[in-house]
Amino acid sequence: MVKTVSIIITGKVQGIGFRFCSYEKFVEFGLTGKAENGKDGSVIVTATGEEPAVEQFVAWAHTGPEGAKVEKVETSEVQSEPEK
């Protein structure tokens, strides 16, 4: 089952390559999505893919890349657009 989640990651997550590493993990887990810096110093990720792969990404987000100090990860499921 395909799932889309929005993830807000806070802590020391900007300036250490979190977004770049997120894209590498998208490829590794077979996901699509985007990662952007939040104005408050967070990283905001939207990830779409098969549910087990999305859950793997969320688990990775709790640690992030080397140099990250993740304090909090908030996830919420996003309604996918129906296919036409």
Q: Which residues are catalytic?
A: 19, 37
The span from the CA of 24 to the CA of 28, in Å, is 6
Question: Can you tell me the distance from the alpha carbon of 84 to that of 40, in angstroms, rounded to the nearest whole number?
Answer: 36
- Name the 3-class secondary structure at 25: helix
